Chain A
Amino acid sequence: MYTLENVSKTYTQSKRKVTALADVTLTIPSGQLVAIQGPTGGGKSTLLQMLGALDRPTSGRISLGESELSHLPDRKLGGIRAKEIGFVFQGFNLIPTLTAQENVETALAPLGISAEERRRRAVDALASVGLADRAGHVPGELSGGQQQRVAIARALVKEPDVLLADEPTGNLDEETRDEIMDLLEGLWRDRGLTLVIVTHDTAVAKRAERRLHIKHGTVTER
């Protein structure tokens, strides 16, 4: 479960102070599917980075379960990201020189798992997203939808508690978008994940249990 108490995040941009999050207080229970919407520059991605332990708030507290994310050192935040949080990005963010299977294996590298076990789990993860036959292909040989499936397999192979998706269907056509959302929804349901999706797409947002709107750094329920 995520708990955010009076979380604020400010940046200095060209000597100008920009408030990305303003005094956000929020709770996201474990196993919930949450969609976050809002205009560009409203603070969606910043909120996702806070939830993903990629950044620390300027003020306030963020907790994931028993872990206080706002004050942990980088090394421990890295450990939490390695074990508990999976990421899916709009641009897929696959490593272009590695095959699909090797891309999935990168998520297991920090966990000290043996090479054989890594390979087995990567193959299983690819099979779970319907890409068992594409394991040896590099991203450039895969379609956008297939690349996003590889990215989802990479996020889930370590069996995290939380999956954070930043515009996961932003680069896909409607048909592929629906396929990906079906996949994510199925995985969420099967695995009991906490799934947080940042999206501009109302059709995607409507599939969530809970919809949040963020504008000028302020979060409201919809």
Chain B
Amino acid sequence: MFFTYLRRELAGRRRQTAIVAIGMALAIALVMIVNAVSTGVKDAQASVLESVYGVGTDLTVSQDPTPPEEGEEGGGRFEFGADDGTTSGDSTEISQSRLTAGFGSTTFDASALDTVTDLDGVAAASAALSLTNMTFSGEMPQRMQEAPTDGTAPTDGDTAQEPPTGGFDGAGGSAFDVNSFSVLGIDPGAEAVGPLSAVELADGRGLEASDAGQAVAVLDASYATSAELAVGDTIDVGGTELEVVGTVTSTSADAATASNVYIPLDLAQQIAGLDGQVSDIYVQATSSDQIATVQADIEEALPDATVSTQADLAASVSGSLATASSLISNLGLWLSVAVLVAAFLIAILFTIQGVTRRTREFGTLKAIGWSNRRVVGQVAGESLVQGLIGGAAGLVVGLAGIWVVNLIAPTLGGSAGTTTAGGGPTMAGPGATDGATAAGPFGGVSDAAGATTEVVLNAPVTISVVAIAIGLAVLGGLLAGAIGGWRASRLRPAEALRSVA
């Protein structure tokens, strides 16, 4: 009788059933899509983070940048001696490379790595030195033309009669290029944690423990292509020629890896003049529930350090990925909640309206001996099935929506690493300066490899997404059924019959 009555009611009141089911379906589909896209955005964020911080990194340790002290140079400068450069004809070509600490990062004593490694709950840790290689090169007129060598001042007549020659335009002009790329000094033997855990070999070989102190480098494959470098070539890093032994690509993202160039840590320290210094420590905890404890222990052991978790790192992802994340977590979430509440309210209101309209019906059933439980069960059953119909429709619509999102496959760009002003937490990763296109002050432009990682958004259909759809359908149905059933249970048969007499 229960199923016959239920089937007849739902079929006999098609419009109400359709409205409730459509409302539930739209709400459930929206929640499914938002949930899947949210998961996709989180995966994309993880991809960006992994490309910069490596797979399995639970915590990073860095240090807030400090302003230069009085009398101290804020940054290095290029200095050329009188004999520097190569003179050819009327022009002199000059070129100088400097390897300095990466923009926005501060170095600290490498002994911090030992301090961190010795802490309980630390499974692995490795240190890195984030650097920027700046090359200043250019062409200018031969110095001989600029001033007489006998020490006498030129007369107006001299300059008027001999117009300047040489330089890049042959008329005494000068041109300079400023070229930069990021360099990451890493422990060549530590692949378990750190940036190299998220790369795969594209050509040649990777850095090995035996490479410590050797003049070798591994290049990001994208950068190698843009800089026209290949395995076997040499690259000038801070004035030292290094042999390119391999190229790597990111395992998790489509674009660049954490840095343009990877070199052994001790070599990086030596070239940059930062002996015994590192800029970042990557830490892997023994288990996820140890992360908070390890973070607290590191902060206690290294009071000047900034210790960041994956959640902190996720907040550092910027670009359209961050916009998408913000959109999903704000608009998407609240829109889902609003539509869901509306759908539930519609289901509840229709159920209550149905019970009110069927007062005489339920009164009659109670009069002929139907128990309260049987009447409530009937109302709840009808609502539950309406919810399930909505859930099934919502599942189909939701899956279709997710399919459309994956078909469109929007590309999101994201980069990790920001430095907040005013002493806030410094999240500068080794690749933080990547993506900078250094524009020479005199018009020369050279590209550093862009490390803004572009990730194709993939909204995954997971068991949890399907479970959410079914769960919400059951919840909505039960909620409406419970309220409608409660109302039906309060009908006394005599009053129910009298109310329509």
Contact = CB atoms under 8 A, between A and B. Distances in A.
Contact of A55 (B5, B372, B494): B494
Given A91-B360, A93-B364, A98-B8, A54 B493 contact: yes
B8 A74 contact: no
A83 B5 contact: no
Interface in B1-17: 1, 4-5, 8-9, 11-13
B497 A102 contact: no
A102 B5 CA distance: 8
Nearest to B9: A97
Contacts of A75: 371
A183 B493 CA distance: 27
B369 A49 contact: no
Contacts of B500: 91
Contacts of A82: 368-370
Contacts of B497: 49, 54, 89, 93
Interface in A62-89: 74-75, 78-79, 81-83, 86-87, 89
Nearest to B363: A93
A45 B363 CA distance: 15
Interface residues of B, number: 28
Q: How large is the interface on A (under 10, 10 to 19, 20 to 34, 35 or more residues)?
A: 20 to 34
A110 B364 contact: no
Interface string B338-373: 000000000000000000000011011111111110
B370 A110 contact: yes
A89 B1 contact: no
Contacts of A74: 372
A105 B5 CA distance: 10
A95 B367 CA distance: 13
Interface string B389-424: 000000000000000000000000000000000000
B370 A78 contact: yes
Contacts of A102: 1, 4-5, 8
A86 B494 CA distance: 15
A110 B394 CA distance: 36
B367 A54 contact: yes
A40 to B, nearest CB: 10
B487 interface: no
A8 to B, nearest CB: 16
Nearest to A93: B364
A81 B368 CA distance: 6
- Majority secondary structure, B binding face: helix
A79 B4 CA distance: 23
A59 interface: no
Contacts, number: 83
Contact of A52 (B9, B367, B370, B374): B367
Given A49-B494, A95-B361, A81 B1 contact: no
A111 B371 CA distance: 11
Given A79-B369, A95-B361, A109 B374 contact: yes
Interface in B142-170: none
Interface in A104-122: 105-107, 109-111, 115, 118
B8 A97 contact: yes
Contacts of A97: 5, 8-9, 11-13
B497 to A, nearest CB: 7
Nearest to B1: A109
Contact of B365 (A49, A86, A106): A106
B77 interface: no
Given A89-B364, A118-B1, A78 B371 contact: yes
A118 B363 CA distance: 22
A105 B1 contact: yes
9 contacts: A78-B370, A78-B372, A81-B367, A81-B368, A81-B369, A89-B364, A93-B497, A98-B8, A102-B1
Given A74-B372, A86-B368, 15 more contacts: A45-B498, A52-B367, A54-B367, A54-B497, A78-B370, A78-B371, A81-B366, A81-B369, A95-B5, A102-B5, A102-B8, A107-B369, A110-B368, A115-B1, A118-B1
Interface of A: 45, 49, 52, 54-55, 74-75, 78-79, 81-83, 86-87, 89, 91, 93, 95-98, 102, 105-107, 109-111, 115, 118, 154-155
